[in-house]
A and B are shown apart, each in its own frame.
Chain A
Amino acid sequence: MLIRLDPASGVALFDQLAGNIRASIVSGRVRPGERLPAARELAASLDVNVHTVLRAYQELRDEGLIELRRGRGAVVAHDPRDYSELTAAIDAVVAQARAHEVPPAALAALIREAYQ
């Protein structure tokens, strides 16, 4: 699982972190049942505060993507939820955005708008 955070982007680090892990899970790059690094370990690895990692993990748990177990750390949820249609739809939307030269930030804003 590759995590890349940009402190200069203006998006909160925990949000970026949750986004990175979410993308890895939804795309299937990390499989159900796979163990994620312990929060303290990941925080040291990225050189961020441990609360940043914990907050990202809690967000993902609330979405049902990971399970947090005391002493066992974070595990990708076994729930066999199928995201393949969502992944395909996202690919299609991104392709459309590229064709119409809509930048990523604008596309994200459009999606957020559509949610409300």
Chain B
Amino acid sequence: MTETTADVTARASSTRSRAITVGAIVPIVVTALAAVITASWIPELPSPVAVHWAGDTPDGYGNVWLFILMPLVICTLFALFVVAMSSRPTESGLLTANQKFVLVTSPWMAGLLSVGLGGTLWVQRGLDDAAEASGGAIWMLWGLLAGFAMAIPAWFLLPPSDRAVVTGEPPAAMDFAPTELVSWSRSAKVGRGARAVIASVFVMQFVLAFVLAANGEPAWTVLLVVVAVLLVLVAATFYWRVTVDRRGLTVRSALSWPKTTIPADEITDVAVVDVQPVAEFGGWGWRWGADGRTGVVLRTGEGIQVTRANGKRFVVTVDDASTGAAVLAGVRSGG
């Protein structure tokens, strides 16, 4: 069966509209409805309402609008992210398993927050004082169930995940004399998209730590420890060197760890591939893709992919990947 370009284009546009329905329209409509319904209860609700529960009794109170609007605001922001992430279907007009997973997280979250937070307001109707409320905690469980009730059909509404194996372009192997000494290497660093995500995570952590410290919560020190650990992880996976020589392919962090070498004689195939970090690997850094590939994925674009004798595939994003792949193919062929 041959497929025309028109078929693929039609499928890609159907994929895109289903992705927008699942990732954005359904969650936004559900949380907006939940906001309208919960807002209609305001006359019956105590003020302030219980917003935090210890077991089955409330231990934290706040403004009712917090719970009315929070699901809608969070789900709208998340919807923007997931739609941007899945706006480019794969070559055959489908989505990767990673893209589908992130997309159904959107309706899952809408179900969880609408039912979970809405339920804790439902049990407070008719009370004069929120402290008398009980039976709120069980609604987080109903919320979880509602989340799955939305996410599972959403998964099947999306097209089947693309199981096509990324083969890439085979390089033209470089010719080497048997005695020739060879080394190709490039430095590589995390790309702009990942840097923006990392920076925003750190800003959020610092703001949170500041708010906690200002409120006299001792938890802020824990948060700073988390930030310190994250900093070490980021530092270890920010700058890399990719080396191809007679030993094989070596990918090494500038801090010497983590590091991996794939020996030349274990490599059965070398290719130049185009890498989409979020869609194919769910993010940046040392990653495992849903299609079984491992990779040091630092940015969108060209990379070297090697297949080992045991069938495992490894990818590294690096500039001038075609030269690196050509050298690797050359040393592998025993030149």
Give residues in A with beta carbon < 8 Å to B: 1-8, 13, 34-35, 37, 41-42, 45-48
Of B78-86, B180-188, B268-276, the one with at least 4 CB within 8 A of chain A: B180-188
A45 to B245, CA, bound (A): 6
Given known A-B contacts A34-B187, A45-B185, A5 and B180 have beta carbons under 8 A apart = yes
Contacts of A7 in B (CB 8 A): 179-181
Q: Closest chain B residue to A5 by CB distance?
A: B181
Task: Check if B177 sits within 8 Å of A6, measured CB to CB.
Answer: yes
In the complex, the answer to whether B181 meets A37 with C-beta atoms within 8 Å is no
A91 to chain B minimum Cβ distance, whole angstroms, is: 20
Could you pull out 16 A-B pairs where Cβ atoms are within 8 angstroms? A1-B186, A2-B183, A2-B327, A3-B182, A3-B184, A4-B181, A35-B241, A37-B185, A37-B243, A42-B183, A42-B185, A45-B245, A45-B247, A46-B181, A46-B245, A48-B181
Q: Is B246 an interface residue (CB 8 A)?
A: yes
Contact of A3 among B183, B186, B187, B241 (CB under 8 A): B183
- Top 8 A-B pairs ranked by shortest CB distance? A5-B181, A45-B183, A45-B245, A2-B184, A46-B181, A3-B183, A46-B183, A35-B187
**Chain B residue contacts of A35, Cβ below 8 A:** 187, 241
Chain B interface (Cβ within 8 Å of chain A)?
Answer: 176-177, 179-187, 241, 243, 245-247, 250, 323, 327
CB distance from A115 to the nearest CB of B (A): 28
Query: B176 contacts which chain A residues (CB < 8 A)?
Result: 4
Q: Which residues of the partner chain B approach A41 to less than 8 Å between Cβ atoms? A: 241, 243
Question: A1 touching B185 by the CB < 8 A rule?
Answer: yes
| Among A1, A4, A42, A45, contact of B180 (Cβ-Cβ < 8 Å) | A4
Contact present for A1 and B177 (CB under 8 Å): no
> A1 CA to B184 CA in the complex, in Å?
5
CB pair B185 A6 closer than 8 Å: no
Residue of B nearest to A37 (CB): B185
Q: Please, how many angstroms separate the alpha-carbon atoms of A6 and B327 in the complex?
A: 16
By a CB distance below 8 angstroms, the chain B residues around A47 are 181, 245-246
In the complex, A1 Cα to B183 Cα: how many Å?
8
When the two chains form the complex, which single residue of A2, A5, A34, A48 contacts B323, counting CB atoms closer than 8 Å? A2
Q: How far is the CB of B268 from chain A (nearest CB, A)?
A: 22
- Min CB distance A11 to B, Å, is 13
In the docked arrangement, what's the CA distance between A41 and B182, Å? 13
Task: Indicate if the CB atoms of A6 and B180 lie closer than 8 Å.
Answer: yes
- B183's closest neighbor in chain A, by CB? A45
Q: Of all chain A residues, which has the CB nearest B177?
A: A6
Instruction: Specify which chain B residues have a CB less than 8 angstroms from the CB of A42 in the assembled complex.
Output: 183, 185
Residue among A5, A35, A45, A48 facing the most chain B CB atoms (10 A cut-off): A45
Contact B323 A45 (CB under 8 A): no
- Residue in chain A with minimal CB distance to B187: A35
The CA-CA distance from A41 to B185 in the complex, in Å, is: 10
CB of B332 to closest CB in A, whole Å: 16
Q: Across the interface, which residues of A come within 8 angstroms of B246, CB to CB?
A: 47
Contact A8-B179, Cβ < 8 Å, known A41-B243, A45-B245: yes
A13 to B183, CA, bound (A): 14
Question: Nearest Cβ in chain B — how far from A84, in angstroms?
Answer: 20
Chain A nearest Cβ from B302, distance in angstroms: 16
User: In the complex, what residue of chain B is closest to A6 when comparing beta carbons?
Assistant: B180
Q: Report B314 CB to chain A, min CB distance, Å.
A: 19
A48 to chain B, nearest CB (A): 6
